[in-house]
Amino acid sequence: MSKTSSVEQSAEKEAMLGTLPVLQSERLYGFMDALLILSGYCIATWSYTQGAYLTTLVGFKQLLIGAFFGAVLMLAIYQLPVILSVRYGIDIWIWLRAVLGRKGVVAVSLIIIAVNYPWYAVSADLFASSMNSLLGIAHLPPLPAAVLSVFCVAAGTALAYKGMGAITATTRILVPMLLLVGVFVLIAGFTSVPADVIWNYRPAGYEPGNIIPYIISIEANFAFVITLVGGMAEIPRLTKRENSGFWAGVFGQGAAGSFFVVLGAVMAIAMQYTTGEAVSDPTVMLASLTVPAMGLCSLLLVAFANIGTQAVGAYLYGVMLKASFKRISYRALIIILAVYVGLLCIWGRITEYFGSFLTIGACVYAPLAALLFTDFFFVRKQKISLRSAYSLKGHNAYEYTGGFNIVGLLCIVFGFCMSLAIYDPIASKVHIPVLFVFTPTGFSFLSTAALYLILCRIPFISKYMLKDRSECR
């Protein structure tokens, strides 16, 4: 291999697995490939857990509306700024240097990783539980949960280690198979009990006219889909058209991901009807609702799906961290992430504490998404100085106050507080009913966007925020 071609390959690798802008000629994906990868990311055991959780709140028709229309609504709004990633070939975290400051991005991305990445420990934990159920069906002794969950993390990380080629090849085969099995399981769920048991399902304690459980279910759907905000741009920045990157994100989660949420709900309702138990483990569901051998389908629905999710997640968050820690290689970063999740798996109690931890964490995502949306469309009006964003010599528009943008960070704290002021997720208590109809995530998004826009209209703040205008073409 010539020296020039080696340098070119190294630069291309740094673009794909790092922070350099990806050129149009290097883009890998059309709409369909991006859709398959993002669908593969969204289809994991947590979809069934979410579906089973929603059945405790609302009837099946409201569940369908929330899972599809609620999810697509939030996605179609908060994912709009991914078009910047396609336009410039960059991650949103490069743009966010303009909103939060260089050091502000490091601080917020670390918080997002700390709060969000334990999702993968939960996924690995569910993988272990399902695999042990499968071993039980085969009359084999169970394996230690920590061993199985660390295996799931290691397998996903190994795929991500190989780069996007391995992930793309895997999802091209895996996702269509998952969707096919999903349709089969949906039919099995509907035929294992009278169809009207599912269609007319109402949760225990249903009160006609009480709108609060419905709003909580919509909030659960908003919170569920907005967790991707930190890693939403890594795949779209590799797509060839702005609309492909955007719609792949919206439908990857809002259609494919939501289909598996509904699948989890159907199986949970059917299980409740046939066994009296609200089970969300797909292996047990399949074995109980069809024939025990069908539990083997969970090898696909759980094993491969969770490993695929782990792989895409490692890539997304590895690249996201790369924006903050450019001195550390992508591969070293995904190994650090794997160690973090592996330790949580060995600890073994993440699922027990995760509900409260995650709900509070979700309060950070909405203000972050609101800032990006408002900054891109209304403050910076789709123009950024890439030279300042990358801190090239002589370009310091985003240095702000010691590397922190006080205005952006203040807005995040404001949005976080607004969310908690409306609803206490730990005690499940509504504090401000009139604002609760917007849902905590929805109102936090709207109020943060409004505050940020108003602040940026004040002349001296505008001067602080928009030092980059002379550099923007």
Partner 1 sequence: MDNNTQNSFERELERRLGIMEAPDYEAAPCFNKTDYIITAAVILICIAAVIGGAFL
Helices 71-78, 258-275: axis angle to 10 degrees equals 160
Q: Which of 73, 301, 345, 363 binds partner 1 (CB under 8 A)?
A: 73
Q: Which of 13, 31, 76, 274 binds partner 1 (CB under 8 A)?
A: 76
Other Cβ atoms closer than 10 A to 18: 18
Q: Taking CB under 8 A as the rule, does residue 302 contact partner 1?
A: no
* Geometric angle at alpha carbon 110, from 341 and 47, rounded to 5°: 50
In 3D space, the residue among 163, 155, 135 whose CA is nearest the CA of residue 309 turns out to be 155
Q: Look at residue 251 and give its three-state secondary structure.
A: helix
Q: What mask, x for binding partner 1 by CB under 8 A, covers residues 84 to 113? A: --xxxx------------------------
Tell me the residue length of the chain.
Answer: 473
Closer residue to partner 1, CB minimum distance, 20 or 153: 20
Taking contact as CB under 8 A, which single stretch among the options 66-74, 304-312, 331-339, 414-422 is the one that binds partner 1? 66-74
Report residue 329 as tokens: 């290689």
Our CB check for partner 1 shows the closer of 134 and 250 to be 250
Rounded CA gap, 222 and 74, in Å?
6
Listed residue (76, 81, 88) closest to 27, CA to CA? 88
Query: Residue 22 gets which letter from DSSP?
Result: P
Tokens 């289909």, residue located: 259
- Taking the least distance from each CB to partner 1, the nearer of 38 and 297 is 38
Binds partner 1 by CB under 8 A, chosen from 13, 172, 240, 467:
240
Burial of 302 (0-12, 13-18, 19+ CB in 10 A): buried
Tokens coding 87 = 């336009």
State the minimum distance, in angstroms, from the CB of residue 236 to partner 1.
10
Residues 66, 156, 252, 415: which binds partner 1 (CB under 8 A)? 66
User: Which part of the chain contacts partner 1 (CB under 8 A), choosing from 28-36, 187-195, 237-245, 299-307?
Assistant: 237-245
Which residue, 217 or 288, has its beta carbon nearer to partner 1?
217
* 190 lies in the site for partner 1, by CB under 8 A: no
Distance (Å, rounded) from C-alpha 370 to C-alpha 454? 13
Q: Shortest distance, CB of residue 165 to partner 1, whole angstroms?
A: 21
Query: Which residues does 270 contact at the CB level (< 8 Å), separation at least 6?
Result: 189, 190, 192, 193, 197, 198, 285, 289
Using the contact rule CB under 8 A, the part of the chain among 34-42, 128-136, 214-222, 309-317 near partner 1 is 214-222
Q: Per-residue string for binding with partner 1, 17-56, x by CB under 8 A?
A: ---xx-xx--x-----------------------------
The answer to whether 3 contacts partner 1 (rule: CB under 8 A) is no
Amino acid at 215: I
CA distance 418 to 243: 32
CA angle centred on 19, ends 13 and 23, rounded to 5°: 65
What is the rounded distance in angstroms from the CA atom of residue 246 to the CA atom of residue 235?
10
CB of 137 to partner 1, least distance (A): 38
Size of the site for partner 1 (CB under 8 A): 44
The verdict on 299 binding partner 1 (CB under 8 A) reads no
Kindly state whether residue 390 participates in binding partner 1, applying the rule CB under 8 A.
yes
Spell out, one character per residue from 311 to 350, where the chain touches partner 1: x when CB under 8 A holds, - when not.
---------------xx-----------------------
Instruction: List residues binding partner 1 (CB under 8 A).
Output: 11, 14-15, 20-21, 23-24, 27, 59, 61-62, 65-66, 69-70, 72-73, 76-77, 80, 83, 86-89, 211, 214-215, 218, 239-243, 246, 250, 326-327, 386-387, 390, 392-393, 473
